[in-house]
Amino acid sequence: MAHVASNSIHTFRPHFHTAESPPPPPIRAFFRCRDESRRRFPVVACQTKPNSPAESSTVEEKEPASLGTDSAGETTSSSSDSAGLPEFPTRNLNRRIAVGSGLFGVGLFVSGRLDFGVSLKDLSAAALPYEEALSNGKPTVVEFYADWCEVCRELAPDVYKVEQQYKGQVNFVMLNVDNTKWEQELDEFGVEGIPHFAFLDRDGNEEGNVVGRLPRRYLLDNVEALAKGEATVPHARVVGQFSKAESRKPRPVTDPRSHG
């Protein structure tokens, strides 16, 4: 009887595992699931336009922008993709810009001062002969000059501009002090320094003179007064920096018709 009781207790021992219900997952699986949930998945970039079939087969993975902190403690983001940002000028580009600006400034200065190459020779070639100027009934400006006179060369562009402005109203004559042909005129007008500008009325009478380097307005005002037929010029006796006429180099006349 004791044997039967022992078998019955062994046969009907309660348990929770049945064939229909699978065994519960092990505890270690629960910790593995939590670890896998913390894994950071790659960021997939989306494109607005679909790629070609060859390109769509692969997915481009981009690392997210790195975060940092600036000097104020605020969070800032930086990205290695800077293709869309404008590039700063390089050192070579800055050097080229500086050289170009310098050349442009020099060219502008030279063109303003020399008036694209106006020289005493050009003025002399375009000047009216002295005898003709005294006989055509127009007022006259007589300039005594020399090829070696630095002030004369410097004022050539200003004389040219005034001459072009009053061309046809006032005669412009150029007399070279090195030409022995004009010895009498040098004494008559009392030329001691050059450039020497003598302003003559319609009858050939001198109304005044201007000597040396002076602002262009002195020449312009006197020529304007001559063109208007005024009895006097506003600047009758003005002297600036000049070259001494005694430094001239007299030479014989090669052409009797020459007024240079």
Token pair for residue 5? 């009781």
* Inter-residue contact 185 to 152 (CB < 8 Å): no
CA 71 from chain center: how many Å?
Answer: 39
Q: In whole angstroms, give the CA distance from residue 39 to residue 41.
A: 6
Which candidate in 152, 210, 223, 226 is catalytic? 152
Catalytic residue among 149, 159, 175, 200: 149
Q: Which two tokens stand for residue 75?
A: 């969070």
Q: Does 152 qualify as catalytic in the annotation?
A: yes
Alpha-helical runs (H) found in the chain = 2-11, 27-37, 53-56, 91-114, 120-126, 130-135, 150-165, 183-188, 216-228
Active site residues: 149, 152
